[in-house]
Amino acid sequence: MTMSNRYQEAKERYAKLGVDTEEAIRRLQNVSLSMHCWQGDDVRGFEDAELTGGIQATGNYPGRARTPEELMADIDEALRLIPGTHRINLHASYALTGGKHVPKSELLPEHFAGWVEFARQRGLGLDFNPTLFSDDMVVDNLTLSSPDGAVRRFWIDHCKACRHIGEYFGRELGTTCLVNIWIPDGFKDVPADRLGPRRRLKEALDEIYSEKLDPRYIADSVESKVFGIGVESCTVGSHEFYMNYAAKNGVLCLLDNGHFHPTEMVSDKLPSMLLFFDKVALHVTRPVRWDSDHVVLFDDELREIAKEIVRCDALDRVMIGLDYFDASINRISAWVVGMRNMQKALLCALLTPHGMMRGLQDASDYTRLMMLGEELKFYPYADVWAEFCERCGVAADEGWFSEISRYEKDVLQGRN
Ligand SMILES: C[C@H](O)[C@H](O)[C@@H](O)C(=O)CO
Ligand SMILES: [Mn+2]
């Protein structure tokens, strides 16, 4: 059977369940994911500072991008193998300063003009993150919540500068830039005061967000975390802190699915968040036993996250970004696998007869509901994926990997 015959057959099978595969493909084509630049260089940034902040990239696979040119070339290589048109998520540590040290509090849009050009030429959007780690001004694991006013001032100014840079991205590229604040602040051991640091963080955020920027160009979000390496006992920017802050101050919550207790599921949080917020941002990762930031696989939680996005009819309300950094394998392959898996999960969700399944739940017909859910796992979504990839001009199967091997041999191996 030819590929298109297989698609025709899949189309008919899904149609019997009331699912329109053409609509699923069309909707998936409109989904832009935000691909994190930091998988390409193990979160090193262009200042080549030691990675701090309680996060870790482990492994020593050859070929890490060492310069802006190398990182951009590697991003291009990944994008060639991923269907659709996407966004690139930058950290402030990827400023293009021509090798000059610019304190983070003094960063300007001009330090990112090269990234805007890169994005414009490829029709990409840009998202942005202040970098409150890997810097001498992180003192005793504290930034915006530090008791030291000079430390707080530095980081407040950094975040303010980053919001201007984000607004500049949005204006230049004509697509709203998500500017997400994550801070590593916390305590290794049981703190004597949890309120003070959180009060200082709240006041710092109030100052950062006091400047009203154009919502057509910038959306703000805050990202919580339950713990980091070296800050195991208390994280200042906890989920409760940010959820309340966001609700009261008109900013968005960003949920990173590596930042909760292992049995807490972001998929379960999504519907509740969507009932109270216009938009929600995601960092999709794969925590293995802790916030290990492994490459996103096509696993149960990824599929569940995608199902919630689709069945809450929230494809345009959930800003989906990826966040992992694996230095033990080919980094470009890591990007491609994670991005394609997110898309595959969304496609499966788009091919699910949610109305029918909701009806079964509401009728308490859990027997039939379970049966259908399990049978759907063996439906021919791979044939619809193949059709989607064909229309986007990329390989649907492992055929893309020969290009990774060629690039590794021709380009990456020459870097060491
Ligand atoms: C690079 C980090 O992963 C990122 O800024 C942040 O989103 C995070 O998840 C820290 O654990
Ligand atoms: Mn994250």
Amino acid at 230: G
pLDDT in tens, 138-156: 999 999 999 999 999 999 9
The verdict on whether residue 365 carries a ligand-binding annotation is no
Instruction: Specify the residue with its C-alpha closest to ligand 1, atom 6.
Output: 182
Q: 283 near 257, Cβ under 8 Å?
A: yes
> What's the average model confidence in pLDDT over 337-358?
98
Instruction: Specify the residue with its C-alpha closest to ligand 1, atom 7.
Output: 182
Separation between Cα atoms, residue 184 and residue 215, nearest integer Å? 27
What domains can you pick out in the chain, each with its CATH number?
Answer: 1-30+352-416 (no CATH), 31-350 (3.20.20.150)
For the cut 80, the answer to whether the pLDDT of residue 2 exceeds it is no
| pLDDT value of position 416 | 73
The verdict on whether residue 293 carries a ligand-binding annotation is yes
Q: How far is CA 159 from CA 105, 147, 367, 384, in A?
A: 8, 18, 52, 43
* Percent of the chain residues past pLDDT 70, beyond the cut: 99
pTM of the full structure: 0.97
- State phi, psi for 280 to the nearest 5 degrees: -135, 140
pLDDT in tens, 376-393: 999 999 999 999 999 999
CB-side neighbour CA atoms (13 Å) of 335: 28
Q: Is 223 in the pocket of ligand 1 (CB under 6 A)?
A: yes
For the cut 80, the answer to whether the pLDDT of residue 170 exceeds it is yes
* Ligand showing the shortest atom-to-Cα distance for residue 283: 2
Instruction: Specify the residue with its C-alpha closest to ligand 1, atom 2.
Output: 323
Distance from residue 358's CA to the centre of ligand 2 (Å): 32
| pLDDT value of position 187 | 98
> What's the average model confidence in pLDDT over 211-224?
98
Catalytic residue numbers, as ranges: 182, 223, 225, 256, 259, 283, 291, 293, 323
pLDDT in tens, 71-112: 999 999 999 999 999 999 999 999 999 999 999 999 999 999
Candidate of 37, 55, 290, 319 to mutate for ligand 1, largest count of ligand atoms within 8 Å of Cβ = 55
Q: Is 134 in the pocket of ligand 1 (CB under 6 A)?
A: no
Chain mean pLDDT for the chain: 97
For the cut 70, the answer to whether the pLDDT of residue 15 exceeds it is yes
Q: How far is CA 92 from CA 38, 141, 156, in A?
A: 11, 19, 14
- Helix 381-392 × helix 331-350 angle, to 10°: 120
pLDDT in tens, 301-333: 999 999 999 999 999 999 999 999 999 999 999
| pLDDT value of position 3 | 61
| pLDDT value of position 48 | 78
Report ipTM (2 d.p.).
0.98
> What is 137-158 written as a DSSP string?
T-BTTBSTT-S-HHHHHHHHHH
* Percent of the chain residues past pLDDT 90, beyond the cut: 99
| pLDDT value of position 1 | 63
Distance from residue 34's CA to the centre of ligand 2 (Å): 12
For the cut 70, the answer to whether the pLDDT of residue 343 exceeds it is yes
Separation between Cα atoms, residue 146 and residue 160, nearest integer Å? 17
Distance from residue 18's CA to the centre of ligand 2 (Å): 37
Closest by Cα among 233, 171, 230 to 197: 233
Distance from residue 231's CA to the centre of ligand 1 (Å): 14
**Residue carrying structure tokens 């990675």:** 51
pLDDT in tens, 266-306: 999 999 999 999 999 999 999 999 999 999 999 999 999 99
